[in-house]
Structure 1
Amino acid sequence: HSGLVIRIGLTGGIGAGKSTVAQTFIAHGAYHIDADKIAREVVARGTPGLAQLVEAFGEDVLDADGGLDRPALAAKAFVSDDSRKLLNSITHPLIGARTQELTDAAPDDAIVLHDVPLLVEGRMAPFYHLVVMVHTDEDVRLRRLVELRGMDADDARQRIAAQATDEQRHAVADVWLDNSGTPDDLAAAALAVWEERLVPFRDNVAARRAVEPSLDDTADDPESSKLGARLVNRLWALVGGGAQAVAHTATSSAADHPTRPIPELTVTVADLTAADALAEPLAAGGFPPVESDDPQVRLHGSADPGRGALVRVRPAD
């Protein structure tokens, strides 16, 4: 890709209402990649993935039609850490390759929507430009699962308990959509995020344009430590081996919005050549270059209209 697309991670606990948000984004042009669908596709009947599972776990993971018998596989794969690791070592590379294939096929100016139920649990948040979290209180989710999906109450409780906590979700969420109202309320909130944040973000990344943070976005977590930590992880994902250190070094306030924290981050590199080599990966990842007063520092801003940031890329002393 030409580095013009932005990747959005969409997640939320089981029964939170994620599909309503996904449908809203897709209706307005999001390029949808469904992680659950891919996980099913790569082990469908007749695939090399299914053959690998049979080789690893035996013929009795197949149903009468030669497809995957999921409960039978679960009974074998989730009995120990080793068997679960074996399962993951087969499925994860296949899912990753198919996801990359679909991402590469997206149009150049796409907003790629990656719909991932276990995004938090899989520690995938840093690899997105932005993470959208759909949230509903646990008791409401439990009621929905039992009443609307016909799940057994104990089973539903176990499924909820096995997923990330609200605190873990807050730590990675850039946008927090509360679904305690009606589906229409949620769709309206999702549309506002699409129009006010995602589309301008995509356009800013394409234009390599940094923004002054002005959007009064209550979905953004006001705790600067969480925001700083989130950006540190995202920068590491972008610069990889090209940096020696990434740190959240300070927090200032937007001039027109004193309560909004603007994290200042420092990426330490070997020399200015290394700093210049990071300019394009950072810009494609949502941190375009901006003018710097100091010839020994390369400065980057944020292309996300809902979140200001200042990133200094400097050689080690």
Structure 2
Amino acid sequence: MAILPRNSDTNFPTQEPVWKDFGRSTRAPLTEEHRREAFLAYIDFALTLSDSAPERQLILIDHYPMFSPEHRAMLRTQLTTTARAPNLAPSTREGILEGIRQLVARHRRFSNAVWAMPAVETDALDAVGQEFRGSTVVEEVRWLFDEFLPDLADVEPDINVASEKVKALRDQALRKVLESGVGAVDDLFCKARQPYLVAQQAAESIQDTEGIFALLDRWFGRLSSRDERGVPVLCATRLALAGDDWMRQLSDATVSRDWPEWSLGLCLADMADSRTLIDSLKDKPPSAVSRYWATRSQYIRYTDKSLSDEIAGSARQPRVTLPSSPSG
């Protein structure tokens, strides 16, 4: 009785909207099941196109977490076949390996997140990724030098803890690369997306000074834009470890190793401002002094006012024209 109309009730009936020109649609309304079926059909179609097409498989890796278990298995099978193909292009192999590594590392690092794949899925994909591993140690460890803080499994949320773990892994990696010679370290420097990370780690991990100078020989001999950035980074990092004696060794090396006359200026460019550093420039060749002032940061890196004023004044002085470096 409660639902029956009462006296004084009002009613405003509405008409279900229909297409003005075509009338009521005869098509059944879409449901979530229809959407799911369409989504799965698109994945089926994409996997059909990616069969024997490594470039398309690489694109699908990013979408792997959205696939059903059956579709994930299909993509893993395709990737395994691709990895064992004898004529796979090195760039494609590296791209697929990096895509799988990043995806697995991200889901393992955030394994407690609701969107993270279960361990059984990441383990299965990681096993496929191992099929793409390169034949050289440089290819094996390069990912550690491609970004400042790559995703790692089982890392604390604290960024300082994560940084220390990455630093330890980089030290192990560079020492392993060094077993193949300084040339292998240079190869890593040339291939890494962030070469300055290789330069920093080389300064810390290569114990003997001769090994450091052998690496600088290669960079001064080639002198690409990458090398010009690596030289001051390596030298400044080494200074923090070896002290002021490192500056004397560098000064001697610019003569004994037949580096360009201005090379010392590039070596000193990233070092922290100090009275010792500024005074050491006074007896150096003009080209080395010019290279230093042209390359160093425009910001004052010392709190002593008298030294800061001296640095600012020296930075404004005109310098000799620097020799152009080959691009690379």
> TM range, normalised to the smaller chain?
under 0.3
TM-score (ref. length: structure 1): 0.28
Q: Using structure 2 for the length normalisation, give the TM-score.
A: 0.27
**Larger-Rg structure:** 2
**More relative contact order in 1 or in 2 (CA 8 Å, sep 6+)?**
1
Higher share of residues assigned helix: 2
- In terms of fraction of residues, the more strand-rich structure is 1
